[in-house]
Amino acid sequence: MGRLSEYRLRRRVNFYETDCAGIVHFSWFFRYLEEAEHAMWRAAGLSIAPKGDVSFPRVNAAFDYQAPLRFEDEFDIVVRVAAIGRSSMRYACTIARGADQVATGTTTIVCVSGAAGGMKAVPFPADLIDRFEVAVSPNQS
């Protein structure tokens, strides 16, 4: 099977994701991004769950918000591989409701070994990183 560079997940806003301003709480967008990222890993035949000594914590995450989402809105989360390093991978994410862009985000995961207090970055296992490739940006081509 080929390498994956992008994944699209359609999703509906759950009641418990809204706040008393009547819109989805901003913290949820980070979870939406993660849902699409993990679905992409599954589509690649992989799981992001900690395995043996290796896990994949994030070193950064950011979102810009352009429009609110509301209860029962249906929306798309598109996650793209933006960069692949020896021991890190960066994603870009777009969230849209139909033709309306709602938010754009980025996050970087790092491959680390060791637990509590002694984590250090290690190269991604080859059979894992070989499943992904950097997406061609919609602005390039």
Compare residues 58 and 90 and give the one whose CB is closer to its own copies. Answer: 58
Q: Could you count the other beta carbons within 10 Å of the beta carbon of residue 81?
A: 20
Residue 28 CA to residue 31 CA, distance in Å, equals 5
Three-state SS string over 88-100 comes to: EEEEEEEEEECCE
Residue 38 CA to residue 36 CA, distance in Å, equals 6
- How far apart are CB 129 and its own copies at their closest, in Å? 19
Residue of 116, 127, 139, 141 interacting with its own copies (CB under 8 A):
116
Compare residues 21 and 140 and give the one whose CB is closer to its own copies. Answer: 21
Compare residues 66 and 136 and give the one whose CB is closer to its own copies. Answer: 66
Query: Should residue 27 be labelled a site residue for its own copies when binding is judged by CB under 8 A?
Result: yes
